[in-house]
């Protein structure tokens, strides 16, 4: 069975697990590391609680100390797709997708996907409605 990896699957991203299973694939959640602060520990606890609310079985892997190590861990699962399960997963999902040659978001557009001012600049470049942001 082919694997679809969801990078940090919380909030509405939890819905991906059921969707993946219903389409005949195996869900694999890539859990992201948290900063070693009180806020980071609290967020990590929140993420674990979110995972416990998912009513399906899924495999779990963990972000490693380096991108290269994480890439090798992900590569073992020979994923069909890698999708972000929340905002924090966008950058890593795009970079992993790029390195593995999978269909997904372009790393060239990461700034427009993660920085509001750049998103509006790109919209304006295409003649679409945008908000001018000043610093």
pLDDT on residue 6: 98
Higher pLDDT, 63 or 105: 63
Dist. CA 90–CA 112, nearest whole Å: 11
Give the pLDDT band (50/70/90) at residue 98.
Answer: very high
Domain segments of the chain as ranges: 3-104, 106-135
| H or E stretch covering 88 | none
pTM: 0.84
Answer whether CATH 2.120.10.80 is correct for domain 3-104. Answer: no
| Residues whose CB is less than 8 angstroms from the CB of residue 39 and which lie 6 or more positions away in sequence, other chains included | none
Q: Are residues 34 and 48 in contact, defined by beta-carbon separation less than 8 angstroms? A: no
pLDDT on residue 135: 63
Give the pLDDT band (50/70/90) at residue 8.
Answer: very high
């Amino acid at each position: 069975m082919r694997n679809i990896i969801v990078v940090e699957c919380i909030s509405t991203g939890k819905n991906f697990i059921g969707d993946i299973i219903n389409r005949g694939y195996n869900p694999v959640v890539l859990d992201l590391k948290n900063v070693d602060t009180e806020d980071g520990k609290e967020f990590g606890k929140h993420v674990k609680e979110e995972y416990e609310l998912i009513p399906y079985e899924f495999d779990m892997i963990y972000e490693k100390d380096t991108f290269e190590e994480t890439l090798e861990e992900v590569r073992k699962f020979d994923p069909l797709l890698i999708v972000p399960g929340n905002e924090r997963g966008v950058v890593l999902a795009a970079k992993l997708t790029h390195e593995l040659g999978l269909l997904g978001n372009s790393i060239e557009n990461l700034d427009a996907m993660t920085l509001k001012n750049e998103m509006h600049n790109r919209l304006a470049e295409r003649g679409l409605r945008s908000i001018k942001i000043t610093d």
